[in-house]
Structure 1
């Protein structure tokens, strides 16, 4: 696989809230948070402008809340607040690694973190700060996958790095189907034809329309983000 770090100068990392739990059932795992923050800081040190959209599933998932009787719009709002908690934790963890970072929220809460605007995010990226984007799109009924694709397009990112719990895109769920085949590379159109679950429909439509490559890899190992950028290890590249 290619050394993407040499050709991608601005990236969007999509990080799930669950990735921050470590082996726990919920919340934040300090060692996992430190490991991921070190990886993000290293990407920025290489001169790659690095933005991150983080989910909130380690604290609260809007869909799960709706299933428990909370109306979906309100449940999604609670989920957005969970992403802000994660963003603040990541911001601090990156700064502990000696790299400046800024948390920006699509849901304005200026006493806690900076409200999101395209101009502010581009300014911080240009200064070499890791930009951690919270609050999803700022609207209910949209996932943080959609938020990542939207911000990637808005900020003219060269690629979306989707950090997952599996090492790429498979023809079926590898946990359920031992015969599932992993793809090294495929196109957006091939992913649609084969109905591969890379991102949710709205997110994938934005990436496809804006011709943004998506690199899908596992976040489980230390240094996974930089390894993916270096073309090391297993990953799937989804190309326009």
Structure 2
């Protein structure tokens, strides 16, 4: 396998599937199956999942709530999703541990870096819930920070699109996908990969990010096998011969 240890970032919204709210059982089990196959290769897998299918902290102001209170509510939403993923994985026979940034001892272990790394070394899938346990930080930031702390090789951001584009591919049919791109190019082009805190953490620690379509069966396994899937964001862009990013002119067209 190309990577020894990965941090997989999943969005809470993706768990809704075709629903308007909550957790779609078929989508949850699809993700669990993908993670099971990845863990079976010997790759050490850690997961951070958002809570947007239940509640987002940034919604607090719209409801007239305090932002800090809203962020803590969002953290609890991520714990619910993490528990659901843990149950789905264990149903498939995968050994897991759920570590939380908040103290919820009845259902989660407290996050301790050395304990997390030990679980990974023993082949357990480690799920990080409740973000970093502090308000004003997104689950993207939590994913970046935890990946750095556990010395992951890469952050794999599973989305519903197959990489980073020059524009929103769902709105612009002429949008061009990058195969490789540098951190500096992402910032210069103002491309939406992660929030700035999360992105800066990865850049400063030279931690590559791969954005890929998690909803396509087998994509995670292909990534771990070394196939060029999605978009790689790194310090130098292309890391393999022939993997140069497309040159994009001012119109957004590749040439």
Give TM-score, length-normalised by structure 1: 0.94
Which among 59, 76, 81 is matched to residue 54 of structure 2? Answer: 59
Partner SS for 1:81: helix
Which among 109, 130, 136 is matched to residue 131 of structure 2? Answer: 136
- Aligned mates of 2:228, 2:114 — CA distance in 1: 35
Number of equivalent positions: 235
RMSD of aligned residue pairs (Cα, Å): 1.2
Which among 78, 85, 90 is matched to residue 80 of structure 2? Answer: 85
Equivalent residue, structure 1, for 2:14: 19
Equivalent residue, structure 1, for 2:216: 221
Residue 54 of structure 1 contacts residue 144 of structure 1 at CA under 8 Å; is this kept in 2? yes
Residue 60 of structure 1 contacts residue 78 of structure 1 at CA under 8 Å; is this kept in 2? yes
Residue 2 of structure 2 contacts residue 224 of structure 2 at CA under 8 Å; is this kept in 1? no
Equivalent residue, structure 2, for 1:75: 70
- Aligned mates of 1:202, 1:54 — CA distance in 2: 17
Equivalent residue, structure 2, for 1:190: 185
CA deviation after TM superposition for structure 1 residue 29, in Å: 1.0
CA deviation after TM superposition for structure 1 residue 223, in Å: 2.7
- Aligned mates of 1:233, 1:213 — CA distance in 2: 14
Partner SS for 1:89: helix
Deviations 1:30-73 (A, max 9, x none): 11111101111111110100000010011101112322211110
CA deviation after TM superposition for structure 1 residue 234, in Å: 4.3
Equivalent residue, structure 1, for 2:196: 201
CA deviation after TM superposition for structure 1 residue 232, in Å: 4.6
CA deviation after TM superposition for structure 1 residue 222, in Å: 2.4
Larger mean CA deviation between 143-152 and 106-115 belongs to 106-115
Residue 36 of structure 1 contacts residue 223 of structure 1 at CA under 8 Å; is this kept in 2? no
- Aligned mates of 1:107, 1:224 — CA distance in 2: 32
Larger mean CA deviation between 230-239 and 172-181 belongs to 230-239
Residue 2 of structure 2 contacts residue 225 of structure 2 at CA under 8 Å; is this kept in 1? no
- Aligned mates of 1:9, 1:45 — CA distance in 2: 12
- Aligned mates of 1:127, 1:51 — CA distance in 2: 12
- Aligned mates of 1:224, 1:30 — CA distance in 2: 20
* Larger Rg computed on CA atoms: 2
Partner SS for 2:60: helix
Note the residue ranges of structure 2 that are not aligned, 5 or more in a row: 236-255
Alignment of 1:41-190 (within 5 A): 41-190=36-185
Structure number with greater CO (CA < 8 Å, separation at least 6) is 1
